[in-house]
């Protein structure tokens, strides 16, 4: 479990990681590859991996050439719908939900993990059980509530209900439980209030989990579909996934456009993740628990 | 290991009790509680209440009491969906836990290009289900997909994957269907394909969670154990596994709950949704179908929802009972 | 602590009370929900023209892109008491909505009783009868035709010519269909798998229904009490379908819309699809396309599909009258022609075919005139609850099994008919 693995074992591990990693990335590569092909090219040869534009296959005379050919789908996708607005909406909603989730999760997880109060475990079970009901079930009643609050087609409908994430509370609670009681006791004896313990001791020790929660919240809001579909009508309020869905209709998907749009929507998340997972490594360096 | 019992020291306990009265634990839970109450609890209770009414296209038509439940229990399609879901969960949760734990352990070392690998493994999580469905449908295409192309080269035949309604066991043992009875055929290959795709997509998610949990393990513990002469397996069994147990418990419960609620995967990947001869019609799809595909009966869908909820709740309680003994905090 | 709780409850009560005031009641517009996706621009153009003529009560349209999304939103909106004014709806939905007292009966409007422009005898004669009949329940009009299509045979004229078939003489009978498919199915590289196919289609109830009707059969007995798909006419229809599409010697079927890809790529000679597919195909194919009515046996039959427009009962009187006015505008000869040309949906009125632009299209597309002429004797699917319930089983159970070879047509149909009969019995 450390640095001194034997060379053979190390290269074996690398091999395994690469093979599995390839399987992870291959579909993504196919998605990008398709996004670089025109509809006619895709129809003619649906299973071709290397896009014609990269392989040097000439395009039909009437089609765009050169650089325009490469980005044709991206340009058309961007222009076919107000993607700038969709991105904006998605980002606003994602960041707002993030703030809410981190706040509510930290407070609630602390209460469930470390504080003792009547009804704690029962309430926790109640929270957990809320997760056991799939979205389509509570969709219509939620819609009724949102409609009565006058929040239909507003950011409030997309943000407020999602400022609490029970998965995150559960995860953080599990993590808080692993923090040694000694730290908690020591701080309390020193005169720290419960809030101070949470803020100054438990949160800093939980950077990895907090980053994880933040990441998952952003991904969750970024990819959410059913809820925004029902809660919004106007194009101005639509987030990304709803915009993407328009490329896929019943009688035939415009694969090239759809893959271009999907790639556009996935790349920010990947970039985000790349930096986030570095944070996890960085946080371990400063946590004081590891070498 | 941590966790001293606070009541061991009476002074400490008194000190803590005094603090408790001042801060009000409920205040910490209040923000989450408020939102959950309004946007989860009330809608869910309302949804369950719907199950006692007949609702056509959203309009309340009449009270039917337990009518929906009776029809539900008599519907062979419901029981079929239930079995399908159970198979799916069985085929998803163990690989999710052990697969992601395995890779998390591999990725938890100081190897080169660590960030690169971790991003790679996370790509499926980040790719939307729509894209994943389209891509995998192409890969698993029986006639033209790459997978069968390779399998044929290796003389391993051309399985029907998403279009194959015959069971896994049947295919392995008695493809002609001559002596194995229908009920023993096992989950259809279509369902197995979905389970594979589901695992593939969720692996990165659980890897990240395990990684976060692995950060908690103090290096000193490993050093101490190694000095005592422990090898890799003992290190894992006596240091890693116990400290990781809260995380593992979390992944176990979460994967089960989530896989019971699989919907978009089925909806997007199988045509028609519900699969060849309904062999991928998991419960939530059955529910969605009853509730939103005309004739849309929200009442009926809500009845299914309540039943599904009770099943998941029961299962989670059982899991907690079994596992919590083994979870060390 | 206790105070916190009380404050919370008070806050919730307040929010709930305020809610009704906040609920948007747009009394001065007509909200129109549709799922026309790529044809939104054409629709929007007509709406803008209407709005310039009627600025006091304009139409505001919302595109939900897909019918699935549209039905979900309707259900949610109705449950919340905030439905739109007009929406597209499949007849399955309409039947349910009538039962739920959600939509407005349009017969009084058609009769001119509410000071609205009535449907004159000339209008009634001009609309293809099958379209209006589909909108009538108990002889009263509950919805209005809008985007309709008819099942059509698409042919690859180049492939036809290549095997010696005359593209201007597409198959008109089942025998001709079978023979043409056989000629068109070619295994060029000798690997045992055809590289070009005769016919492809989606294994659906619509193609089965067309064959059933073409064979002189029907879905239900005249009194509606018995499902008759398992009678010899139906069995022969399904057997033919299995032969044409299931045995993979003359053609093949898919269970989703993927079959169109091969046709577009020039690998299949004939494709059964909706007439709307014409607009999807234009611009993505590089062979000469032809259309034709579906081959018949005992008679020529075609099934219509698509949605109609419904008006919700919860709208105000002014909104409902405005809605009717808008619907009439949308479906007058000029606009119906415009819509048909832009979207590929069928022309609703006979007078549309006389319009110059339509004439031009008919001249440019071989076989389109014959295809549209099917509308004079087209059929719509049954519209009773038993059929809606049983239809899914027919498609996903019976037809699928027959296509995969795990059930015989006779047995599959008998099972389905029994299920549907049970549903009918439950209704009575």
Higher pLDDT, A118 or B216: A118
Looking at the domain assignment, is residue A1 inside a domain?
no
Domain match, A202 and A268 both: yes
One domain for residues A204 and A257: yes
Examine the pLDDT at A288 and tell me if it is beyond 80.
no
Q: What is the pLDDT of residue A5?
A: 52
Rounded to whole angstroms, the Cα distance separating A207 from C280 reads 52
> pLDDT tens digit string along C175-209?
999 999 999 998 887 777 788 899 999 989 999 99
In the three-class reduction of DSSP (H, G, I as helix; E, B as strand; rest coil), residue C63 is classed as strand
Q: Show residues of chain B in contact with A260, CB under 8 Å.
A: none
Q: Mean of the pLDDT values across residues C379-386?
A: 88
Quick check: A178 and A133 in contact, CB under 8 A? no
Which one-letter DSSP state was computed for residue C127?
B
Q: Is B121 on the interface with A (CB under 8 A)?
A: yes
CATH code of domain B70-324: 1.10.3720.10
Q: Hey, are the CB atoms on B26 and C1 less than 8 Å from each other?
A: yes
Chain C neighbors of B278, CB-CB under 8 A: 396-397
pLDDT band of C26, cuts 50, 70, 90: low
Mind listing the pLDDT tens digit for each residue in C117-161?
A: 899 999 999 999 999 999 999 999 999 999 999 999 999 999 999
Distance CA(B118)–CA(A144), nearest Å, equals 42
pLDDT > 60? residue A1:
no
What mean pLDDT value characterizes chain C? 88
Q: Are both A106 and A246 inside the same structural domain?
A: yes
Distance, in Å, from the CA atom of B306 to the CA atom of A14, rounded to the nearest integer, reads 47
Instruction: Tell whether A167 and A36 lie within a shared domain.
Output: no
Q: Can you give the pLDDT at residue B329?
A: 66
Return the pLDDT at C15: 47
Domain count, chain A: 2
Q: Quick one: average pLDDT of C78-85?
A: 91
Note the pLDDT tens digit of each residue in C298-309: 999 999 999 999
Q: Are B146 and A47 an interchain contact pair (Cβ–Cβ within 8 Å)?
A: yes
Are C75 and A43 within 8 A, CB to CB?
no
Residue contact B124–A270, C-beta within 8 A? no
Residue C86 is predicted with a pLDDT of 96
Confidence of residue B109 (pLDDT cuts 50, 70, 90): confident
Are the Cβ atoms of B203 and A24 closer than 8 angstroms? yes
Give alpha helix (H) positions in chain B. 10-23, 25-36, 42-50, 67-74, 76-107, 114-126, 129-139, 146-153, 168-173, 189-214, 219-227, 232-235, 241-260, 264-269, 283-292, 298-324
A to B CB pairs, distance under 8 Å: 288
Residue B269 confidence class, pLDDT cut points 50, 70, 90: confident
Q: Does A189 share its domain with A137?
A: yes
Put simply, whether A40 touches C (Cβ < 8 Å) is yes
pLDDT at A287: 41
Q: Are residues A46 and A125 in the same domain?
A: no
The percentage of residues in chain B with a pLDDT greater than 90, rounded to a whole number, is 19
For the stretch C353-379, pLDDT in tens is 999 999 999 998 889 999 999 898 899
Residues A90, A143, single domain; the answer is: yes
- Using the structure block, give the residue that is written with the tokens 């944070």: A279
Q: How do residues C226-260 score in pLDDT, each as one tens digit?
A: 999 999 999 999 999 999 998 888 888 887 777 88
**Residue A23 forms contact with B (CB below 8 Å):** yes
Mutate to test the interface with B, among A6, A11, A20, A24 (most CBs of B within 10 A): A24
- The 8 Å CB, 24+ separation contacts for C218-226 are C219/C381, C219/C382, C219/C387, C220/C382, C220/C384, C220/C387, C224/C384, C224/C424, C225/C424, C225/C428, C226/C421, C226/C424
Question: What is residue C18's predicted lDDT score, i.e. its pLDDT?
Answer: 42
Q: Strands C144-156 and C289-292, how do they pair?
A: antiparallel
Output the CA torsion sign for B139, B142, B145, B151.
positive
Chain B residues whose beta carbon lies within 8 Å of the beta carbon of residue C388 = 294-295
In degrees, rounded to 5, the angle at the alpha carbon of residue B145 between the alpha carbons of residues B144 and B146 is 125
Chain B, 229-288: which have a CB under 8 Å from a chain A CB? 232, 235-236, 240, 243, 246-247, 249-250, 253-254, 257, 260-261, 263-264, 284, 287-288
Q: Both A220 and A276 in a single domain?
A: yes
pLDDT at C27 over 90: no
Closest CB from C18, C257, C284 relative to A40: C284
Angstrom distance (rounded) from CA C173 to CA C54 = 50
What distances in angstroms separate CA C81 from CA A147, B294, B300, C73, one per listed residue?
A: 9, 19, 20, 12
Q: What is the C-alpha radius of gyration for chain A, rounded to an integer number of angstroms?
A: 24
Q: Which of C368, C346, C367 is nearest to C131 (CA)?
A: C346
**Mutation for testing the A interface, residue in C65, C70, C276, C281 having most A CBs under 10 Å:** C65
Residue A286, pLDDT > 70, answer no
Residue intervals in chain C for CATH 3.40.190.10: 27-149+305-377, 150-304+382-427
Residues B315-328 have pLDDT tens digits of: 888 888 887 777 76
Kindly state whether B271 is in contact with chain C, defined as any CB-CB distance less than 8 angstroms.
Answer: yes
Residues A202 and A278 in one domain: yes
Q: Look at residues A54, A73, A92 and tell me which one is the last residue of a structural domain.
A: A73
Smallest CA-to-CA distance from C317 within C48, C21, C30 is with C30
| CB interface of B with A, residues 145-204, below 8 Å | 145-146, 200, 203-204
Considering only residues 45 to 104 of chain B, which have any Cβ-Cβ distance to chain A shorter than 8 Å? 46-47, 50, 58, 103
Per-residue pLDDT averaged across C288-299, rounded? Answer: 92
Say yes or no: A97 and A14 in one domain: no
| CATH class of the region C150-304+382-427 | alpha beta
3-state secondary structure of A193: coil
Chain A residues 87-106 with a CB less than 8 Å from chain B: 103-105
Kindly report, residue by residue over B232-251, the tens digit of the pLDDT.
788 888 888 888 888 888 88
Q: What is the pLDDT of residue C371?
A: 92
Confidence of residue C2 (pLDDT cuts 50, 70, 90): very low
Name the band, by pLDDT with cuts 50, 70 and 90, for residue A61: low
Average pLDDT over residues A209-232: 87
Chain A residues whose beta carbon lies within 8 Å of the beta carbon of residue B15: 188-189
Domain-wise residue ranges, chain B: 1-50, 70-324
* Shortest Cα–Cα distance, A278 to chain C (Å): 39
Interchain contact, B25 vs A115, CB within 8 Å: yes
Winning range, highest mean pLDDT, from A217-231, B285-299, C346-360: C346-360
Q: Is residue A97 domain-resident?
A: yes
The SS3 call for residue C154 is strand
Mean pLDDT to the nearest integer, A48-71: 77
Question: Does A106 lie in the same domain as A250?
Answer: yes
Which has more pLDDT, A231 or B268?
A: A231
The CA distance from C112 to A139, in Å, is 40
- Whether the pLDDT of residue C16 is over 50: the answer is no
Question: Of the segments A115-124, B22-31, B258-267, C326-335, which one has the largest average pLDDT value?
Answer: C326-335
Residue range A189-206, pLDDT digits in tens: 777 777 777 887 788 888
Whether pTM exceeds 0.90: no
State the pLDDT at residue C4: 43
Q: How many contacts (CB atoms, under 8 Å) link A and C?
A: 85
Identify the CATH number of the domain defined by range C27-149+305-377. 3.40.190.10
Subunits adjacent to chain A (3 or more Cβ pairs under 8 Å): B, C
Burial class of A64 by CB neighbour count within 10 A (0 to 12, 13 to 18, 19+): middle
Instruction: Output the CA–CA distances (angstroms, integers) from residue B166 to B189, B202, B240, C252, in the order listed.
Output: 6, 26, 41, 20
CB of C395 closer than 8 Å to CB of B272: yes
* Dihedral angle, C-alpha A245, A25, A54, C260, nearest 10 °: -40
- Phi and psi of C152, rounded to 5°? -140, 155
Please report which confidence band the pLDDT of residue C384 belongs to, taking 50, 70 and 90 as the band edges: confident
- The CATH number of the domain where A135 resides is what? 1.10.3720.10
Q: What DSSP element (H or E) covers C253?
A: strand C251-254
Residue B102 has pLDDT above 80, yes or no: yes
pLDDT of residue A59: 75
- Which of the pair, C320 or A251, is modelled with greater confidence? C320
Predicted local confidence at residue C271, as pLDDT: 94
- How far is the CA of A287 from the CAs of A121, A207, A281, in angstroms? 30, 8, 10
How many whole angstroms separate alpha carbon A219 and alpha carbon A278?
Answer: 17
Domain shared by A51 and A164, yes or no: no
Domain that holds residue A27: 7-73
The residues in B 7-26 lying below 8 A from C, measured between CB atoms, are 24, 26
Average pLDDT over residues A46-60: 77
Size of interface B-C (CB pairs under 8 A): 100
């Amino acid at each position: 479990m450390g640095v001194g693995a034997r060379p053979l074992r190390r290269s074996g591990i690398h091999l395994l990681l690469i093979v599995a990693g390839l399987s992870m990335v291959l579909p993504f590569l196919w998605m990008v590859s398709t996004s670089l092909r025109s509809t006619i090219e895709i129809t003619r040869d649906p299973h071709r991996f290397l896009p014609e534009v990269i392989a040097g296959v000439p395009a039909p005379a009437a089609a765009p050439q050169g650089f325009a050919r490469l980005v044709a789908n991206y340009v058309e996708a961007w222009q076919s719908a107000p993607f700038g607005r969709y991105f904006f909406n998605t980002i606003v909603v994602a960041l707002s939900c993030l703030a809410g989730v981190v706040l509510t999760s930290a407070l609630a997880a602390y209460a469930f993990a470390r504080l003792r109060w009547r009804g704690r475990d029962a309430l926790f079970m109640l929270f957990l059980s809320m997760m056991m009901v799939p979205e389509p079930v509570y969709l219509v009643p939620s819609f009724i509530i949102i409609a009565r609050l006058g929040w239909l087609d507003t950011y409030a409908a997309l943000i407020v209900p999602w400022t609490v994430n029970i998965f995150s509370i559960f995860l953080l609670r599990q993590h808080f439980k692993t923090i040694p009681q000694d730290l908690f006791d020591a701080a309390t004896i020193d005169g720290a209030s419960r809030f101070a313990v949470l803020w100054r001791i438990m949160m800093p020790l939980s950077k990895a989990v907090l980053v994880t929660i933040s990441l998952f919240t952003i991904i969750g809001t970024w990819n959410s579909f059913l809820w925004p579909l029902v809660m919004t009508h106007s194009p101005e309020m639509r987030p990304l996934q709803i915009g993407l869905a328009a490329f896929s209709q019943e009688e035939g998907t415009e694969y090239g456009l759809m893959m271009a749009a999907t790639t556009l929507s996935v790349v920010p998340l990947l970039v985000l993740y790349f930096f986030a997972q570095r944070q996890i490594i960085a946080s371990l360096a400063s946590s004081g628990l590891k070498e | 290991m941590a966790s001293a019992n606070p009541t061991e020291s009476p002074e400490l306990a008194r000190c803590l009790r005094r603090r408790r009265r001042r801060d009000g634990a409920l205040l910490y839970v209040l923000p989450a509680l408020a939102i959950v109450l309004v946007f989860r609890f009330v809608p869910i209770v309302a949804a369950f209440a719907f199950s006692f009414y007949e609702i056509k296209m959203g309009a309340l038509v009449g009270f039917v009491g337990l009518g929906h439940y009776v029809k539900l229990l008599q519907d062979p399609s419901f029981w079929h969906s239930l079995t399908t879901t159970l198979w799916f969960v069985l085929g998803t949760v163990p690989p999710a836990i052990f697969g992601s734990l395995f890779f998390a352990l591999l990725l938890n070392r100081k190897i080169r290009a660590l960030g690169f690998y971790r991003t790679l493994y996370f790509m499926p999580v980040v790719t939307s289900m729509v894209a994943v469905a389209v891509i995998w449908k192409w890969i698993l295409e029986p006639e033209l997909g790459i997978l069968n192309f390779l399998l044929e080269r290796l003389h391993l035949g051309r399985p029907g994957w998403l279009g194959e309604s015959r069971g896994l066991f049947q295919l392995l043992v008695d493809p002609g269907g001559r002596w194995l009875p229908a009920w023993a055929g096992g989950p259809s290959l279509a369902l197995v394909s979905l389970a594979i795709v589901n695992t593939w997509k969720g692996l990165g998610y659980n890897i990240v969670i395990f990684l976060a949990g692995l950060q908690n393990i103090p290096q000193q513990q490993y050093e101490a154990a190694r000095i005592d002469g422990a090898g890799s397996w003992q290190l894992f069994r006596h240091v890693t596994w116990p400290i990781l147990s809260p995380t593992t418990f979390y992944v176990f419960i979460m994967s089960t709950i989530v896989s019971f609620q699989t919907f978009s995967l089925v909806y997007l990947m199988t045509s028609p949704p519900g699969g060849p001869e309904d062999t991928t019609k998991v419960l939530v799809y059955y529910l969605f179908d009853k509730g939103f595909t005309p004739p849309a009966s929200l009442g009926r869908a809500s009845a299914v929802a309540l039943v599904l909820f009770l099943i998941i709740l029961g299962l989670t309680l059982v899991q907690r009972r079994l596992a919590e003994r083994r979870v060390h905090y | 602590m206790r105070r916190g709780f009380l404050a919370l409850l008070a806050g919730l009560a307040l929010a709930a009370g305020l809610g009704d005031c906040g609920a948007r009641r747009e009394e001065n517009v007509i909200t129109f929900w549709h799922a026309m996706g790529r044809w939104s621009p054409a629709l929007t153009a007509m709406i803008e023209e209407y709005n310039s003529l009627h600025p006091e009560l304009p139409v505001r349209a919302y595109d939900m892109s897909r019918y699935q999304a549209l039905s979900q939103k309707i259900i949610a909106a109705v449950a919340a008491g905030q439905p739109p004014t007009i929406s597209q709806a499949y007849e399955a939905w309409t039947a349910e909505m009538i039962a739920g007292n959600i939509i407005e009966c349009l017969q009084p409007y058609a009769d001119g009783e509410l000071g609205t422009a009535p449907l004159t005898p000339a209008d009634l004669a001009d609309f293809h009868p099958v379209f209006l009949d589909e909108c009538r329940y108990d002889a009263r009009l509950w919805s209005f035709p809008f985007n309709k299509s008819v099942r059509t045979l698409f042919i690859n004229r180049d492939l036809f010519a290549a095997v010696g078939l005359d593209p201007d003489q597409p198959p008109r009978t089942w025998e001709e269909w079978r023979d043409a498919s056989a000629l068109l199915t070619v295994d060029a590289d000798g690997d045992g798998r055809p590289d070009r196919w005769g016919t492809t289609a989606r294994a659906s109830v619509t193609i089965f229904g067309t064959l059933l009707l073409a064979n002189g059969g029907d879905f239900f007995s005249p009194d509606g009490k018995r499902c008759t798909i398992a009678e010899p006419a139906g069995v022969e229809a399904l057997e033919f379908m299995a032969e044409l599409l299931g045995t993979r010697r003359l053609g093949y079927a898919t269970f989703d819309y993927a079959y169109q890809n091969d046709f577009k790529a020039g690998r299949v000679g004939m494709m059964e699809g909706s007439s709307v597919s014409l607009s999807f195909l234009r611009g993505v194919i590089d062979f000469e396309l032809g259309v034709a009515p579906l081959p018949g046996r005992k008679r020529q039959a075609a099934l219509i599909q698509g949605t109609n427009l419904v008006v919700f009962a919860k709208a105000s009187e002014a909104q409902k009258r405005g809605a009717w006015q808008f619907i009439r505008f949308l479906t007058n000869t000029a606009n119906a022609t415009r819509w048909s040309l832009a979207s590929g949906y069928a022309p609703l009125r006979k007078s549309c075919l006389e319009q110059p632009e339509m004439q031009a299209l008919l001249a440019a597309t071989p076989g389109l005139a014959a295809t549209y002429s099917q509308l004079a004797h087209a059929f719509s699917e049954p519209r009773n609850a038993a059929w809606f319930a049983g239809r899914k089983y027919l498609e996903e159970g019976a037809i699928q099994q027959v296509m995969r070879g795990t059930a015989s047509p006779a047995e599959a149909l008998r099972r389905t008919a029994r299920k549907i009969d049970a549903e009918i019995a439950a209704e009575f």
